[in-house]
Structure 1
Amino acid sequence: MWRSYDPDVVSAELTVMREHGMTVTRSFFYWPDFMPTPDSLDEELVARYADFLDRHEALGMRTIPTFIVGHMSGQNWDPAWRQGRDLFGDVWFVARQAWYVRELTARFKDHPAVAAWLLTNEVPIYGDWRSRGIGTLDHEQVTSWAQLLIDAVRAGGGTQPVSIGDGAWGVEVTGNDNGFRVRELAGLVDFLGPHVYRMETDAVRQHLGAAFVCELLDLGGKPVVMEEFGLTSDYTSEVNAAHYYRQVLHNTLLAGATGWLAWNNTDYDDLWADEPYSHHPFEMHFGLVDAAGRPKAQAREVRDFAALIERVDLRRCSRPDAEAALVVSSYLESRYPFTQPRDATVVFDVCRQAYVAAREADLAVGVAREKDGIPDDCRLYLLPSAKQLTAPGWRALLERARAGATVYASWFAGEHDNQRGSWWPGLDEMFGVRKQSRYGLVEPITGDTVTLTMTAALGDLKAEDELVFPVAGTANSRSYLPVEPDGAEVLARDAQGRPALLRHSVGAGWMVLATYPLEYMAAVTPHANPEPTWRLYRALAAESGVDAPVSFETPLVSAALMRHEDGRVFVWCVSQCDAEIKAAPSVRGGVLRDEDGAPVSVVELPPYGVRVLELA
């Protein structure tokens, strides 16, 4: 772009973006061009970037300059003088990067169009594209490198917020350690910026995947900005592209995101012969605007979303405190001795599926990381398909139950045969059962579904109600825990009459055991959602005294709240249905009203639609 910079084209593209509600861009200093030698900047390109900033300011827009851009759209590029030097560990090379960052910051620190700074674009891929850093990048080197470059921003006079641009793909989110540990970096940066491009086998998981990542990034009290998301028009129809944008924008807002940067502004059809587009041609068509200047349907979704943010005055809104906690095992991020890589990554899978079920149940949940300690202020704790929790973690959950909470846990043997089985100390005593499992063996689940029949009421579930769950997994994980009650009340049995859901009174609360890995089986089943775990969660919430102010009887429409400082309450109604749907909300206190103040008794939504009402 900078070698063939056209100011008129830039102004035209920015104008279209501004007309569609976009006020901030993310812009790249292409490193090989901007730093042609170890101790110089290309002054002509620097001047062009200054013009670029001026054109933002003229339209009331701002941008986030990004320094170390050696990766983009399926290709890596080095400065000609790198000569194989290590990006993070070579002292001289890191010093040259710091000089580059400091010098560029000094040039533009006072420009009103600079909103923030990013060190890089997806640097784990640039650092080691084959592994994406997993198992190859040293976290101490990475954190030290980040500290030095952030110090360079400050040394250059930059006072704006700064972050890494790494995509937030660290072990705390993915279970894979790529060296960019979010906990370590959160202490250095001013915001966390996930990049989310997931390929899924289930539409609801796809629509809520980025939201769950935002929930997991509630670390260190730093704001979460959806720093990169989007799609190529070569992969999808324009209608479905708009659905995806709508779902990601609204669901991440409800998950705590406070800013959004879509990839990217326009298509690049004229660059078909240039790398990386020659060998990754689908990368030409991520634009919100096509090559002819026509805004796509997803651009209109961004426009409408921006207008909504303005209408509800989002800056002064916040999410209500959650009374239910989704417990995330510390095995996601802690490398305990003699554990397997899949022990970590499966925690993400099952917790995301549990998050999906909670959203379908209109249940507001907060992420409770075992590593940070189990909070003591919730009425309900959900531990989905957990093979492993530490002994202190189990003791904490038992204490929460004794103090009056409900603790739900579903049994899971794990996917592999290394120390196969749940690592639950004192399972029998905690849950009031006698396990009948055999050493070194699992009890296989046969058939494609498992049916649980309620034998007692639980919340809004009545005796004789049936819940039919998908069955999936490996020879190890596709298994259940045989138990006999020993003080516990049997709430549901499977088709063979075996106890499948049990409740045990401990102190002032309850320990609830599911003997099947319900969330895991749904997580590895294509096109599983909605599946009936949401009904179980809703019943557990009701039994625990966690009431949703607004809810729907169908899992295809979910309700979530945002509270304004002035007392107004906004209700997001989000459809996961691929057709038009009408749903009558259950409102506990107050009346739902539309933007004009008219009462709403039935919510009508187009396919994958979103409607925001006010609870008055």
Structure 2
Amino acid sequence: MLPKFFLGANYWSRVSNIQMWRDWNEKAIEDDLRKAGSIGLNSLRIFLLTKDFSDEKGNLTREGREKLKFFVKTASTYKIYVFPSFIVGHMSGKNWPIPWDPDNSIYDPDAIEKTTRFVSQVVNTLKNYDNLGGWILSNEISNVRKPKSPEEFRSWLRTLYLTIKKLDPERPVSIGDSVSYTSDEYLMPENVTNIVDYLSPHLYLYDFDPVRHTMSYASVIEYGRSLGKDVILEEFGYPTSLYDEESHAGFIEVVLSSALMLGAKGAFVWCFSDFPREEDEPYLWEPHELRFGLLRHDGSEKPAAKVIKKFSEFLNEIGELKFLERRAAIIVPEYMYRSFPFHNMPRNCEMRALMEAYTQAKGSSILITFVREEASDEELLRYKLIFIPSISRLKTTTWRKLLRWVERGGILYYSHSRYATWPHMSASHIWEELFGIKPSLKAGLVGEFIERIELNFSKDVYPFKRGEKITYVNKKWEIITSSFKPVDAEILATSDGEPALFLVKRGKGYSIFSKYPFELILSWTDRLDRVGEGYHRLYVAAKALSGIDSLFSCYDPRIEVEYARLDEGFLVSLINHSYDKVITSLIAPKGSEVEWVKWGEIKDSKEREIKIIIRPKSSMFLKFK
């Protein structure tokens, strides 16, 4: 029986590193596997460094076959599932030779034919082992050679995927490259979702804001899950030669907790251990690659290994999780994953805006997902609340579709964005119909530059009181806006005396419009006072207007609240994405009762309000009857 969650690591031998297949040491490998099992890992991703496994025709060598069989058989002794990665040309900062493809012509017919031969022979060698967890086509093949187009990449992927499925139809297959909305177009989830069995983000994200930093990992997982596809976070981690070991452990705890509670099928830390051999390539010029491990180079456990152990024990204590339907969504513009003629908007900015929007939604205790522009009218009716966060444009048909959705009772939030570098465009064409406003920018002007916004509420709008303010400081000169004036929209807030935030009723629903791209501005801000300024309260206001009710909520913007049904009751996680010790309150349903608590502390409990204490960059779990 497969584990409910593949709690894994990317594996090279602690003793022999990338050279493990050449410098073969069965005792060292068995010691590693024993240790992996003892700290709670139930799966390992391994890498077939192709120079050590194949001849120039793509045949699997006899020696390579025997080593693979030894590894998988020995792993089964310690109840570890193995996920082999076939084409390993790129690894840890170096492109290694592929014997059957010396020119790295990866996507050409002759190269594909030989690759297919190699893959088929590996599958036939290992497919009868019960602890073979799945097949991974490559290790970041795009670092060896990028495809000329998404179509070329999909053709390569489809050929290899079908080759494996013909030989082993039951086990899952992934690309082994970072399928994520942070990736290039050919690796966007929408473009490969029908040719893989699970989406496989490889994430090494960086940010100045600690809250958004780890919330972004959660957003990538939810983005993939929103396509109805399984997700395994195939790589994530940081080197402890750069970051302290305690924060490294906290990071892993937070990401694993989010992954579990968002319904991911697993997560593989990069990587199992540090390495002692400093003189080997590529460590010679990539010293950080020596120190990503859960174990130190001498085999001792880092704090992160203890996180793995307690997470493994926790997985054994909980039953099957049943996830609740999301009634709120962030819209994904189609140009994020499909090219349009002469459409060259800064995709990186829009991606950052999606991350910030997800962070604010989670800080508002909204169970949120993502929805694409192509969604039909009926599909949109699943949602009561839709956010369009600092998106520079949508298709004309999408705006019209959203108007119909609002008229049927939806709540739409749009924060408008514009770029000084791309002045010749308009985000929408139905401003008055959908938002009750009209443009007032003078002809030929680039727009209004934004330096500082002091959003001043001109009336009570829950949770704001009249006169309350939020301050934003724009750090990117190219992020600008346009001016708008109301037609029949109500002005909710101003900045410098000018209308800034509008509300209008359309049919049974409402549209909220901001002339400022709040999410985009915040995404480039290096120091955010999320608690003091309370940026997330705009999302709380939209949630209140929509009537969406959270069963469990906590309105501290540093805390992600997730919950899922168990056979009896609920499992609730509170995940602290900050490096602050947080004392806050969880609001639970009336009459609910806490059965147990893991990893955090309940300070006090009164009716529906439970006061909790959460350590920096950590998580806590509560079981409710």
TM over 0.5: yes
Deviation at 1:264, TM superposition (A): 1.0
Distance 1:148 1:433, change over 3 A: closer
Pairing partner for 1:88 from 80, 101, 107: 107
Q: Give the Cα separation in 2 of the matches to 1:553 and 1:105.
A: 50
Question: Please, what TM-score do these two structures have when normalized by structure 2?
Answer: 0.90
Partner in structure 1 of residue 121 of structure 2: 103
Question: Is the Cα contact below 8 Å between 1:105 and 1:156 reproduced in 2?
Answer: yes
Partner in structure 1 of residue 549 of structure 2: 547
Task: Within 5 Å, give how 1:181-260 maps onto structure 2.
Answer: 182-218=189-225, 220-260=227-267
- Aligned residue pairs total 594
1:516 aligns to 2:516 (yes or no): yes
Q: Give the Cα separation in 2 of the matches to 1:492 and 1:203.
A: 29
Question: Is the Cα contact below 8 Å between 1:212 and 1:255 reproduced in 2?
Answer: no
Aligned residue for 1:103, secondary structure, equals helix
Deviating more after overlay: 368-377 vs 46-55:
368-377
Deviating more after overlay: 438-447 vs 390-399:
438-447
Partner in structure 1 of residue 415 of structure 2: 410
Task: Within 5 Å, give how 1:511-590 maps onto structure 2.
Answer: 511-528=511-528, 530=530, 532-564=534-566, 566-590=567-591
Q: Give the Cα separation in 2 of the matches to 1:403 and 1:108.
A: 54
1:605 aligns to 2:607 (yes or no): no
Question: Is the Cα contact below 8 Å between 2:230 and 2:265 reproduced in 1?
Answer: yes
1:50 aligns to 2:69 (yes or no): yes
1:300 aligns to 2:306 (yes or no): yes
Deviation at 1:32, TM superposition (A): 1.0
Partner in structure 2 of residue 12 of structure 1: 31
Aligned residue for 1:95, secondary structure, equals helix
Aligned residue type for 1:139: P
Deviation readout 1:63-109 (Å, 9 max, x if unpaired) = 011111111100011134533151111x2221111111111111111
Deviation at 1:548, TM superposition (A): 1.9
Distance 1:140 1:577, change over 3 A: closer
Question: Is the Cα contact below 8 Å between 1:386 and 1:412 reproduced in 2?
Answer: yes
Pairing partner for 1:473 from 472, 476, 488: 476
Question: Is the Cα contact below 8 Å between 2:34 and 2:78 reproduced in 1?
Answer: yes
Aligned residue for 2:459, secondary structure, equals coil
Q: Give the Cα separation in 2 of the matches to 1:35 and 1:483.
A: 64
Partner in structure 1 of residue 96 of structure 2: 77
Deviating more after overlay: 40-49 vs 113-122:
40-49
Distance 1:446 1:221, change over 3 A: closer
Q: Give the Cα separation in 2 of the matches to 1:389 and 1:493.
A: 26
Q: Give the Cα separation in 1 of the matches to 2:324 and 2:132.
A: 33
Distance 1:237 1:341, change over 3 A: same
1:426 aligns to 2:430 (yes or no): yes
Aligned residue type for 1:233: T
Unaligned 5+ runs, structure 2: 1-19
Deviation at 1:154, TM superposition (A): 3.4
Deviation at 1:300, TM superposition (A): 1.3
Deviation readout 1:259-315 (Å, 9 max, x if unpaired) = 111111111122x111111111110111110111111111111222222222222xx
Distance 1:180 1:502, change over 3 A: closer
Identity of aligned residues (%): 25
Question: Is the Cα contact below 8 Å between 1:458 and 1:543 reproduced in 2?
Answer: no
Partner in structure 2 of residue 348 of structure 1: 351
Distance 1:320 1:35, change over 3 A: same
1:386 aligns to 2:398 (yes or no): no
If asked which structure has higher relative contact order (CA below 8 Å, sep 6+), I would say 2
Q: Give the Cα separation in 2 of the matches to 1:492 and 1:584.
A: 29
Deviation at 1:201, TM superposition (A): 2.1
Deviation at 1:529, TM superposition (A): 5.7
Q: Give the Cα separation in 2 of the matches to 1:595 and 1:423.
A: 50
Question: Is the Cα contact below 8 Å between 2:58 and 2:115 reproduced in 1?
Answer: no
Distance 1:366 1:72, change over 3 A: same
Aligned residue for 1:289, secondary structure, equals coil
Pairing partner for 1:40 from 59, 64, 71: 59
Aligned residue for 2:65, secondary structure, equals helix
Q: Give the Cα separation in 2 of the matches to 1:484 and 1:39.
A: 66
Question: Is the Cα contact below 8 Å between 1:380 and 1:405 reproduced in 2?
Answer: yes
Deviation at 1:401, TM superposition (A): 1.0
Q: Give the Cα separation in 1 of the matches to 2:188 and 2:558.
A: 36
Question: Please, what TM-score do these two structures have when normalized by structure 1?
Answer: 0.92
Task: Within 5 Å, give how 1:127-146 maps onto structure 2.
Answer: 127=145, 133=146, 136-146=147-157
Deviation at 1:390, TM superposition (A): 0.6
Aligned residue type for 1:35: S
Q: Give the Cα separation in 2 of the matches to 1:539 and 1:505.
A: 15
Question: Is the Cα contact below 8 Å between 1:266 and 1:291 reproduced in 2?
Answer: yes
Aligned residue for 1:595, secondary structure, equals strand
Pairing partner for 2:144 from 109, 123, 126: 126
